Chains A and B, each alone.
Chain A
Amino acid sequence: MFDDRSPIYRQIADRIKADVLSGALRGDEQVMSTNQYAAFYRINPATAAKAFQQLVDEGVLYKKRGIGMFVSPAAPDALRAERRERFFADVVDPMVAEAKAIGIPLGDVVKRIDELEGRG
């Protein structure tokens, strides 16, 4: 179920973040328990707990003692802002590097972007 590229707990954390970004998980909504995640992904519950702890540390989730984990109300906006900040470094710069490496003029790339923009 997991690829080998990053630790399982980080993949779980990324999945939850993606759900928060897409709106599948909303602010103050309860997320599934550590044990439910562990059973679903067939992993040690301590590993699943690590994913949750990471998200609590990052302010994406908060803990209600004895009840469970909830999405921080500020998390969707904070995650979006964080993604926006990394957008050029993570998405645009590698694309430009790839275009240069294979000999696509940047003008063509810009043209394509304009086309997509026009279509939308």
Chain B
Amino acid sequence: MNVEVRDLRVDYGEVRAVDGMTFSLDEGKIYGLLGRNGSGKTTLMSVLAGFRRESGGTVRVGGRPVFENGKVTSEICLIRDAGETIDIDKVDDALYFAEWLRPRWDAAYADELLERFGLRRKMSVKAMSKGQRSALGVVVGLAGRSPLTMFDESYLGMDAPSRYAFYDALLADFMAHSRTIILSTHLIEEYSSLFEEVMIIDRGRLVVQEESQTLLSRGTAVTGPADRVEEFTAGLTVLNTRRLGPTASAMVYGDLDEARRRKARETGLELGPIAMQDLFVHLTEPSGDAARAVPSEDASADRSGDTR
């Protein structure tokens, strides 16, 4: 289901958790939602799921308002870190409840997933480890096949093999049953290849929404003798510079055309890509001017010019 958000504002008393977000999400894509602790990720998803009412602005999912709209919320699923938030006795009860709530529930698929994560219907949810509870959340989120499915850090406590099982199941089921999926995570390197688009939010505002491969292609690490790095990066958006004796490495954000890249190599500078996690760290740094420089850069950028 597509999502349209205009000027969204969410206040908790005096505190503004979401401060004027406008964006739209397409049907049938996987979105990564990245933000530091307290940046507003969970608040935003709670509003999209209808758990919380917006303080201002509009939210439309599938073209309709969400809050207290059962027709829409039955098509939306938000999995918090440890599954559904209500106190549940047994795994069986969690699945029974999900089946009752989710019109597209696939019980056979749920059983297949339980087995894949080593869970049994008779297990007591309270006695499960954190990782097992996260896995139960994943089972409920995937088998529900909701047209808008959100996983809010649904990996907490999961070991690496279980997380890989989650990514594999998510991709396979997404390809078989297209829907809109939002994944919020701090494990950026592990998740980044799953995203078609990335949203980076910071202090309640949307900093970047971009195709993930395009975002990656915008970041370039320029390394070499400090004076030459400085000369080359003059006038470019530099997110961060690190120095090691006579050598400097600058993170440049923005498209570098072939002529510039050639010039860099000719002057003995090394060009390399920047991992999504590093881009994220520097696009959300509270001290930097860079975060503010991004939206204008972004608006002027050519989406199709991504051929590097």
The dominant DSSP class at the B interface is helix
Could you tell me the distance between the alpha carbons of A113 and B85 in the complex, rounded to whole angstroms?
A: 70
* Residues of B183-218 whose CB lies within 8 A of A: 193-196, 212-213, 216-217
B156-179 vs A, CB cutoff 8 Å, 1 = contact: the mask equals 000000001001100110110000
How many interface residues does B have (CB within 8 Å)?
21
Question: CB distance B194 to A7 under 8 Å?
Answer: no
The dominant DSSP class at the A interface is helix
Closest residue of chain B to A51 (Cβ to Cβ) is: B213
A39 cross-chain contacts in B, Cβ below 8 A:
168, 171-172, 175
Q: Which of A5, A42, A43 contacts B272 (CB 8 A)?
A: A5
- Is B290 an interface position by the 8 A CB rule? no
- Is B275 an interface position by the 8 A CB rule? yes
B42 to A: closest C-beta gap in Å:
23
Q: Which of A38, A41, A42, A44 contacts B212 (CB 8 A)?
A: A44
Tell whether A5 pairs with B273 under 8 Å between CB atoms, given A38-B171, A43-B193, A45-B171: yes
B175 cross-chain contacts in A, Cβ below 8 A:
35, 38-39, 45
B46-76 vs A, CB cutoff 8 Å, 1 = contact: the mask equals 0000000000000000000000000000000
Which A residues lie at the B interface, using CB under 8 A?
Answer: 2, 4-9, 35, 38-39, 41-47, 50
Which B residues lie at the A interface, using CB under 8 A?
Answer: 29-30, 164, 167-168, 171-172, 174-175, 193-196, 212-213, 216-217, 272-273, 275, 308
